[in-house]
Amino acid sequence: MTSVSSQLQKPLSGKVAVVTGSTSGIGLGLARALAEAGADVMLNGFGDADGIECERAAIEDAFGVRARYSAADMTKPDEIAAMVGAAEAELGACDIVVNNAGIQFVAPVEEFPEAKWEAIVAINLSASFYTARAALPGMRTRGYGRIVNIASAHGLVASPFKAAYVAAKHGVVGLTKVIGLETAEDDNITCNAICPGYVRTPLVEGQIADQAKAHNMSEDEVIREVILASQPNKRFVDIAEIGALVLMLCSNAGQSITGAALPIDGGWVAR
């Protein structure tokens, strides 16, 4: 039995979290934050097998939880259902789902490649529907569930050249509202979207390099004048700040927050 003091230190002890796209960037940081809070975690995402195994083992060593890895491709509904099933079979439940996997591509609408549109909508939007669809029955049975969708400031406002990303992230905010309403009368199940501004991850490093080339600017100039132009506080959001918000939503104090889209963007969408 978990003691009161260990519950205070490890508020998510006994819970199981699936974090999609957790082999890199924000997802890896969120998986580590959930594990530090005591949750067993199912990692997911692409990357070098040895590197992923290192991250998985490091989480078990650092936080004393169980960590597993699913290679499910977020464009494949059957693999998504199997990942949720594996969390339930191997770790005993799927209490928390963080829909974080995402990709970006930038081009004007009339030049936007069909395959990029389809992939962005599948990974950034449809995957969140398929995880929720697979995980909700178990959440209802156990009387606890937290679905946290990592949307974006681009789920609330638009920028040019990001048609698929902005459409998918607005879709995630809409899906969040529907799931929030459908689970509102269930005891202790919530669904929320977090809408970060820019976070310095491999996804953004790619954009910095591309923009520097396109505008013939230094990377520092791109960060100041292009990337952070829309972010009033002029600094990147820290992954730890997003982690703290996820933990709050997963706690009992988060029980009445549902169907919400929560900006964490230094004032971007306040404009």
| From 196, 243, 259, 266, residue interacting with ligand NAD (rule: CB under 6 A) | 196
For residue 164, how many C-alpha atoms fall within 13 Å in the half-sphere facing its CB? 24
Binding to ligand NAD by residue 27, rule CB under 6 A? yes
Query: Cα separations (Å) of 180 from 99, 118, 136, 261?
Result: 15, 26, 12, 11
Active site residue 165: yes
Binding to ligand NAD by residue 137, rule CB under 6 A? no
Q: Is 66 exposed, middle or buried (0-12, 13-18, 19+ CB in 10 A)?
A: middle
Residue span 155-194 as binding mask against ligand NAD, x where in contact by CB under 6 A, dash where not:
----------------------------------------
Residue span 211-240 as binding mask against ligand NAD, x where in contact by CB under 6 A, dash where not:
------------------------------
Give every CB contact of residue 211 below 8 A, 6+ residues apart in sequence: 217, 222, 226, 227
Smallest distance, ligand NAD to C-beta of residue 196, A:
4
Question: What is d(CA 31, CA 135) in angstroms, rounded to the nearest whole number?
Answer: 17
| From 39, 41, 67, 74, residue interacting with ligand NAD (rule: CB under 6 A) | 74
Closest listed residue to residue 92, CA positions, set 39, 24, 47, 45? 39
117 vs 198, beta carbon nearer ligand NAD: 198
Give every CB contact of residue 78 below 8 A, 6+ residues apart in sequence: none
Helices (H) and strands (E) in the chain, counts: 10, 7
Binding to ligand NAD by residue 150, rule CB under 6 A? yes
Binding to ligand NAD by residue 70, rule CB under 6 A? no
Active-site pick, 69, 144, 165, 198: 165
Phi, psi of 155 (to 5 degrees): -85, -10
Span of 61-69, 133-141, 174-182, 197-205 interacting with ligand NAD by CB under 6 A:
197-205
Which ranges of 183-218 would DSSP assign to H, the alpha helix?
Answer: 202-215
What would the DSSP string read from start to end of 21-61?
T-SSHHHHHHHHHHHHTT-EEEEE--S-HHHHHHHHHHHHH
| From 198, 247, 249, 268, residue interacting with ligand NAD (rule: CB under 6 A) | 198
144 vs 243, beta carbon nearer ligand NAD: 243
Smallest distance, ligand NAD to C-beta of residue 71, A:
8
DSSP at 200:
-
Smallest distance, ligand NAD to C-beta of residue 224, A:
16
Q: Which residues bind ligand NAD (CB under 6 A)?
A: 20-27, 44-47, 73-75, 100-103, 123-124, 150, 152, 196, 198-199, 201-204
Looking at the annotation, which residues are catalytic?
165
